[in-house]
Amino acid sequence: MGILGLFAGCYQVSVSFEPSGTEVASTSPVDIPSKTVSTSQTSELLSYNSVKTNKNTGVGILRLSNQTNQPVRLALLSRSKQASPAAHWDFAPQEGSEKGLLLSLPDGKLQLSKGDVVVAFAQDGSRRYWGPYIVGETHEPMWNPQQKEWWLILGNG
């Protein structure tokens, strides 16, 4: 048997065994239920429809909703001299997808103002990105005057 294995290995010959007709497993019919019950709860995602925008101006905090299936890094370049010049945050897939997450800096509250630049990109190697967005000048992020927040919603679309 060893010589046969050596011969098969040298000449790249493969040997396979197939079951005989009596060794084949039999199958029995399975009852399939006619009703399907879903136990998952549907949750409402954060959307721009709930924002009543006026002019895209204001100084406020940033709320991010990552509604993608990708890990995302959000980068901010602030034009304000009082704020730190650059910062970034990492988000897991679907993190903050329902209500969004308020962003902050280690030294205090984050204040976005007109002219700040925000860009997001996927961290899974897909090369997908969102932005760059210029606060108060591009269509996103959107200003929510009721909560005095800038909203940025990243989606799959």
In this predicted structure, the answer to whether residue 138 has a pLDDT above a threshold of 80 is yes
Q: Is the peptide bond before 71 cis (omega within 30 degrees of 0)?
A: no
Question: Could you give the CA distance from residue 93 to residue 90 in angstroms, rounded to a whole number?
Answer: 10
Main-chain dihedrals φ then ψ at residue 23, nearest 5 degrees: -90, 0
Residue spans of the domains in the chain: they are: 53-154
Nearest to 146 by CA among 50, 38, 12: 50
Q: How far is CA 79 from CA 101, 116, 124, in A?
A: 22, 5, 29
pTM (2 d.p.): 0.64
Of the two residues 157 and 33, the one the predictor is more confident about is: 157
How does residue 85 score in pLDDT terms, banded at 50, 70 and 90?
confident
